[in-house]
Amino acid sequence: MRVGPRYVLAAVALVAVAAGVGLAVSRSSDPPGSVTVTLPSAAPSPSVSPSASPVPGGMQTSSSQAAIPLYVDPSGAAAQQVRDYQAAGQTALAESIRKIADRPVATWFADSSTGGVDRARALVAAAAQAGRVPVLTLYNIPHRDCSGQSAGGAASAAEYRGWIDGMAGALTGRAIVILEPDAMPHAVEDCLDDAGRTERYQLLGYAIDRLRAAHEGVSVYLDAGNPSWITDTGRLAGALRAAGIERAAGFSLNVANFETTEANIRYGTELSGHLNGARFVIDTSRNGNGPADRGANDHDHWCNPAGRKLGDLPTTSTGVPLADAYLWIKRPGESDGACGDGAPPAGQWFADYALALAG
């Protein structure tokens, strides 16, 4: 996936929030690896019927439903790295990676395989059994990333619709779904021709409708890039409307990027003003130090940039009226791409970078 001054890299993971107001981190009495969040009176909850929300399928709810525990997947690469370090007696390194492994992060689904659908079903079922809410990122739109580092996606519109049907069938319980990182900004910046852009909007609208219909507790957020990408929020809002944003829970920002939470709140609030008050979520997984300076190479700014840190913790209690959640959507420690210094391809685990983020 291409990035840089206007682009954001979304990790390709075949399986696959800044510390918010009111966050209650798990204590000894909580299940291992849990994060429970406490909501203010106007904060979101994906456990309620869409009819309780001003945005269909959204997480807005009343103060009577005050906690949303987000699911921590025990099978992620970070958890395995902790086990490997422990087995090698590298306790300090293991404790550093626990800062990632013990937090709820999104699980990515990035191909059309039936195995992906099966994994999604198992994830949602495991989260439901634990009484928690998983975050899923769907990343399989045709012509994905416009031939950038994360190029790929479904081979046709028909294949994509079939895949979405399968993923919808897997959503048998509550879930937060981040829909197609970068797909909308890429369309807005004209990396598709007119026919391709129209098809993309139609496919995203189809996905919103099918996923929302899967279960009343599913909240779908259509990705809208980041503050440094499409700066004309009116133009972006028009495209989001064409893709059916009014039928989604809202939009997501900063996926796999490093823009500060404050910058995203300002941007999201401005964009929301063009969208009748649409709500949003922000990826805070790696924005602790904000974006890197732009170097001689474009990828210095976005591809595993040095000096970045984990951002604010995942929470659905943000204290920001329009922000439903801060989420770790990009999985910290997974590579942005093979851009030097031993970095593996996009989406693969990169232990050295994970340690740097957690340091």
Q: Helix/strand/coil (H, E, C) string of 110-127?
A: CCCCHHHHHHHHHHHHHH
Region 43-68: mean pLDDT is: 39
Q: Which tokens is 168 given?
A: 């919808």
Q: How far, in Å, CA of 198 to CA of 155, rounded? A: 16
Q: What is the per-residue pLDDT for 88?
A: 98
- Residue 18 falls within a domain, yes or no? no
The b-or-e profile of 277-306 (16+ CB within 10 A means b, else e) is ebbbbbbbbbbbeebbeeeeeebbbbbbbe
Q: Report helix angle 233-242 to 261-273, nearest 10.
A: 60
Average pLDDT over residues 265-285: 98
The confidence score (pLDDT) of residue 76 equals 92
DSSP letter (8 states) at residue 313: P
More confident residue, 42 or 57: 57
Average pLDDT over every residue of 34-42: 30
Q: What is the pLDDT of residues 327-353, one digit of tens each?
A: 999 999 999 999 978 999 999 999 999
**52-56, 171-175, 195-199: which has the minimum mean pLDDT?**
52-56
* Residue 301, pLDDT score: 85
Q: Answer whether residue 174 is part of any domain.
A: yes
State the pLDDT at residue 51: 27
Structural domains in the chain (count): 1
Q: Give the CA count within 13 Å in the CB-facing half-sphere of 182.
A: 33
pLDDT-above-70 percentage for the chain: 81
* Catalytic residue positions, numbered: 145, 182, 336
What CATH number does residue 142 fall under?
Answer: 3.20.20.40
Asked if the structure places residue 69 within a domain, the reply is yes
Domain that holds residue 205: 23-358
- Kindly state whether residue 261 falls inside one of the protein's structural domains: yes
The pLDDT of residue 323 = 96
Residue 219 lies in a domain: yes
Q: Read off the pLDDT of residues 154-177 as tens digits, 9 standing for 90 and up.
A: 999 999 999 999 999 999 999 999
> How far apart, in whole angstroms, are the C-alpha atoms of residue 22 and residue 318?
8
* Residue 210 identity (one-letter amino acid): R
Answer yes or no: is pLDDT of 322 > 60: yes
- Quickly tell me which residue has 């969040």 as its tokens: 37
At residue 295, the pLDDT reads 75
Residue 243 counted as domain residue:
yes
Residue-level pLDDT at 24 = 28
The one-letter code for the residue type at 20 is G
The pTM for the full model equals 0.84
In this prediction, residues 269-281 reach a mean pLDDT of 98
Residue 108: closest CA among 208, 183, 14, 184: 14
Tell me the average pLDDT of the chain.
84
Helix (H, G, I), strand (E, B) or coil at 305: coil
Q: In what order do the strands lie in the sheet with 107-109?
A: 107-109, 135-138, 175-179, 218-223, 250-253, 279-283, 323-327
Round to whole Å and give the CA distance between 306 and 18: 19
Question: Taking Cα atoms as reference points, which of 165, 169, 179, 175 lies closest to residue 124?
Answer: 175
Q: Which of 113-117, 202-206, 233-237 has the lowest mean pLDDT?
A: 113-117
Residue 10 counted as domain residue: no
Residue 18: both structure tokens together: 């800044």
Beta strands in 7-105 (DSSP E): 23-25, 35-37
* 4 pLDDT higher than 50: no
The answer as to whether 3 is a domain residue is no
Confidence of residue 146 (pLDDT cuts 50, 70, 90): confident
